[in-house]
Amino acid sequence: MSQSLRRGRAVGLALGYLADVLWADPRRGHPVAAFGAVASSLERLTYSDRRAAGVAHTGILLGALGALGVVAERAAARRGPGWTAAVTAAATFVVLGGTSLGRTGAAMAHFLDDGDVAGARGLVPSLCGRDPQSLDEDGIARATVESVAENTADAQVAPLWWGAIGGVPGLLVYRGANTLDAMIGHKSPRLLRFGWAAARFDDLANYLPARATGLLVAVCAPAVSGSPRAAVAAWRRDAAHHPSPNAGVVEASFAGALGVRLGGPTQYAHRLEMRPTLGEGRAPGVGDVTRSVRLSRAVQLAAAVAAVVVTAAGRSGRRASAPR
């Protein structure tokens, strides 16, 4: 990677993060929603109750995003680092969702603090796919903490990770994969085979970022009067029992950092899952929802700083000529 491209990417990641902090997700015309509409239209043509059909569907969409990213970044690079920074900033802003996550979590804490369970239930679909009507106040608090934890990795750390490694193509392909997993990766009877490829690709794309998130949670635990040691201990002890190889790491580290106990019966639209216990101590309450948002924001900032520093400090990939 040339120094000019590396510098443009680093500046773009920083600007994109700041844009998300200032403006969050646009309420209308979000490019991710446009991608979802295209994916839904393509699904009408590609759907079949077979894994091979899902592989083709996922490959077409992510391949197109990767090609778009390569073309955009190369065109920008030819114009100079300023253009690379602008294109990277735009892509970063589009794919990040950390500020919207924090605002939704804070709104949930407000509903719960006011005793407005109906309002809180109405906000549950903005965080996760659980059945809102099956949740009481304690269940909503637990669901929110778990969702804030998992989405801290999915909406912020992982995109920045892939932006630092792959620039604009990495940003776009990651967000596309995460969106497809949310759309068709659920284990409903209709999508069990068709959504297999999207779910497995998302697991692979999140494997290392989830563990980076766990480390950042431990580092940032003092921001919520938590213990880094407890975060790491919960991760090592409990994460492997979670059905997700990635969500378990992040949720367990959050549980340890916050000093709460997560897991238990989890009702989705299509199934009931008995989740393992993550962490030790009391069940999360309203105050822990607020603390989870603060911890998430601290992790988001740390991830942005790390991504920018790593990108800026990366090697150019060119070997110096040997002296003659």
Degrees, nearest 5: CA angle 10-204-152: 55
- Nearest alpha carbon to residue 262 among 284, 240, 247, 230: 284
CA 275 to chain centre: 20
Domain ranges of the chain: 3-313
Quote the pLDDT of residue 229. 98
pTM: 0.94
The pLDDT of 56-75, averaged and rounded, is 98
The b-or-e profile of 232-243 (16+ CB within 10 A means b, else e) is: bbbbeebbeebe
Counting residues of the chain whose pLDDT is more than 70, the rounded percentage is 96
Confidence label for 273 from pLDDT (cuts 50, 70 and 90): confident
Confidence label for 321 from pLDDT (cuts 50, 70 and 90): very low
Quote the pLDDT of residue 116. 97
Dump pLDDT digits (tens) for 45-64.
999 999 999 999 999 999 99
Q: H-type helices in 221-261, by residue range?
A: 228-238, 247-258
Is 179 a residue whose pLDDT tops 80?
yes
> Per DSSP, what are the bridge partners of residue 272?
267
CB proximity list for 293: less than 8 A, separation 6 or greater: 102, 105, 106, 109, 148
Confidence label for 269 from pLDDT (cuts 50, 70 and 90): low
